[in-house]
Amino acid sequence: MAKGALKLAIIGGGSSYTPELVEGVLKRLDRLPVKEIHFVDVEAGKEKLDIIAHLAQRMIDKVGADIKLTASMDRKAAIAGADFVMTQFRVGGLQARANDERIPLKYDVIGQETTGPGGFAKALRTIPVILGICKDIEALAPNAWMLNFTNPAGLVTEAVQKYSKVKTIGLCNVPVSMTMMIAEMMACQSDELTLEYAGLNHLLWAHRAWLNGEDITAQVLEKVGDGANFSMKNIFEEPWEPEFLQALGAIPCPYHRYFYQTEAMLAEEKASAEQGGTRAEQVMVTEQELFELYQNPELDEKPEQLEQRGGAYYSDASLNLVDAIYNNRNTINVVNTRNNGTMHFLPDDAVIECSAVVGSAGARPIGVGKLGPAVTGLIHQVKAYEQLTVEAAVHGDYDSALMALVNNPLVPDITKAKAILDDILRTNYDYLPQFR
């Protein structure tokens, strides 16, 4: 990448997470000469976008940074000449997420933002839109890197890799959150740890953990089994069964609870849907509070209340990646990228989540050796679901959509798969033109 002034385009700039991103930029100005940031959003998000833009401007002014900030509905203008295009949008907003969470629950199936049928519905809405963004990048900023946080991040990144020429890396805050939680339980600094991550997005294991040359995997599993904090704000902390963890021999991510403790997680989801509301419905309240705070003309930093959301360390994860690419640092980051033989049992063009060396040439995955059937079975099945979902989303193909849900480990049988699919297609009619 040519050195010089950097332009960032943030698609979904009106997100309540954006101040986190701005903070990450301002913390790294010595390494990243960001001179222009363009937030873009859709008409329905204009009010939020304006609030975010004013807060971001106050944050920029506070540190006296020389950054031109623009907020608009003009996606093409935002993308033209950008070096990095960061995507963090939500088609249909939080109401669509709430539908994704509630529809499966009607059929006694996990209803979750990214995992199971909820993530499937989100992918169907999102993939056509992101491929449209890719067309703009191909035409107006062909050298730009797209850093995708849009959920379901791995699946969406796979669609971009397969159906566009855009250079892309997918990103999630789960690995950095796991690293921080392991550092806390081992009472060490996060940079003293080496964690061998491999899996898929929101289906990630640390296969081995090292602290100053010592293999601490068993110790970490013991602590997690003993109830050490190992969850995220958005996921119910169902206790792990210690014997199961020792038998598994790899450290699961918080989202694994949906796969390994399905009944307990389903019961918890149903109870909270009846009482405080689904996670999206709870987040709607938090968001409203956040946007009220953001409007305070005195506020010129990211408020602490943002930490109630699930996206902790989101800013560090994303800006460290920009730093690694722009400055060719060749540092190890955990990213979503092309498999390229790393997991021998998956196709080369499958997107996996793993530790990778990241520099100006992009991400080069680090292998973790041969994985046993205790983990490959689940990875294989979820990847089959993801591949089918990409095809369904791109071509509006009902059969692929049905086979995707049938292959999702959280969907128990074809009758439920069909009922859920038909419900999703009906409820999301306005967002799924490809199926008409």
Q: Is 279 in the site for ligand G6P (CB under 6 A)?
A: yes
Shortest distance (Å) from residue 356 CB to ligand G6P: 18
Nearer to ligand G6P, 138 or 184 (CB): 184
Q: Is 409 in the site for ligand G6P (CB under 6 A)?
A: no
| Per-residue mark of binding to ligand G6P, 347-376 (x: CB under 6 A) | ------------------------------
Has 344 been labeled as part of a binding site?
A: no
Tell me the residue number closest to ligand G6P, measured at CB.
310
Q: Which residues contact 356 (CB under 8 A, 6 or more apart)?
A: 332, 333, 334, 335, 337, 363, 364, 365, 366
Among 15, 99, 114, 148, binds ligand G6P (CB under 6 A): 114
255 among known catalytic residues: yes
Calculate the dihedral angle through the C-alpha atoms of 141, 158, 38, 282, rounding to the nearest 10 degrees.
Answer: 170
Beta strands in 99-162 (DSSP E): 145-148
Give the Cα separation of 132 and 82 in Å (integer).
Answer: 16
Has 172 been labeled as part of a binding site?
A: yes
Shortest distance (Å) from residue 380 CB to ligand G6P: 22
- Asked if 30 contacts 108 with a C-beta cutoff of 8 angstroms, the reply is no
Q: Is 104 in the site for ligand G6P (CB under 6 A)?
A: no
The CA-atom distances, in angstroms, between 276 and each of 64, 143, 193, 213, 281 are: 42, 46, 38, 45, 8
Nearer to ligand G6P, 232 or 266 (CB): 232
Q: Which residues contact 133 (CB under 8 A, 6 or more apart)?
A: 11, 75, 79, 85, 87, 146
| Per-residue mark of binding to ligand G6P, 228-247 (x: CB under 6 A) | ----xxx-------------
Nearer to ligand G6P, 115 or 400 (CB): 115
* Residue 222 identity (one-letter amino acid): E
Alpha-helical (H) ranges within 350-397 are: 373-395
- Asked if 390 contacts 162 with a C-beta cutoff of 8 angstroms, the reply is yes
Among 49, 59, 174, 351, binds ligand G6P (CB under 6 A): 174
Shortest distance (Å) from residue 345 CB to ligand G6P: 25
> Residue 234, Cα to own-chain centre: how many angstroms?
13
Report the 10 Å Cβ neighbour count for 360: 13
Give the Cα separation of 318 and 335 in Å (integer).
Answer: 10
Of 107, 163, 197, 255, catalytic:
255
Nearer to ligand G6P, 278 or 400 (CB): 278
Shortest distance (Å) from residue 201 CB to ligand G6P: 8
Among 173, 278, 320, 333, binds ligand G6P (CB under 6 A): 173
Which of the ranges 22-30, 187-195, 307-315, 345-353 carries the binding residues for ligand G6P, by CB under 6 A?
A: 307-315
Shortest distance (Å) from residue 279 CB to ligand G6P: 5
Shortest distance (Å) from residue 20 CB to ligand G6P: 11
Nearer to ligand G6P, 287 or 323 (CB): 287
Number of residues that bind ligand G6P (CB under 6 A): 14
Q: Is 161 in the site for ligand G6P (CB under 6 A)?
A: no
- Asked if 359 contacts 324 with a C-beta cutoff of 8 angstroms, the reply is yes
Residues in the chain: 436
Shortest distance (Å) from residue 153 CB to ligand G6P: 6
Nearer to ligand G6P, 236 or 398 (CB): 236
> Among 364, 369, 379, which Cα is nearest to 207's?
369
Q: Is 203 in the site for ligand G6P (CB under 6 A)?
A: no
Among 60, 172, 379, 382, binds ligand G6P (CB under 6 A): 172
Q: Which residues contact 238 (CB under 8 A, 6 or more apart)?
A: 257, 261, 264, 265, 268
Give the Cα separation of 264 and 258 in Å (integer).
Answer: 9
First to last CA, the chain: 41
Q: Is 309 in the site for ligand G6P (CB under 6 A)?
A: yes
Has 151 been labeled as part of a binding site?
A: yes
Among 13, 311, 365, 409, binds ligand G6P (CB under 6 A): 311
Q: What value does the CA radius of gyration of the chain take, rounded to a whole number of Å?
A: 21
The phi, psi pair for 278, rounded to 5°, reads: -70, 170
* Residue 54 identity (one-letter amino acid): H
**What positions carry a catalytic annotation?**
255
Contact positions vs ligand G6P (CB under 6 A): 113-114, 151, 172-174, 232-234, 279, 283, 309-311
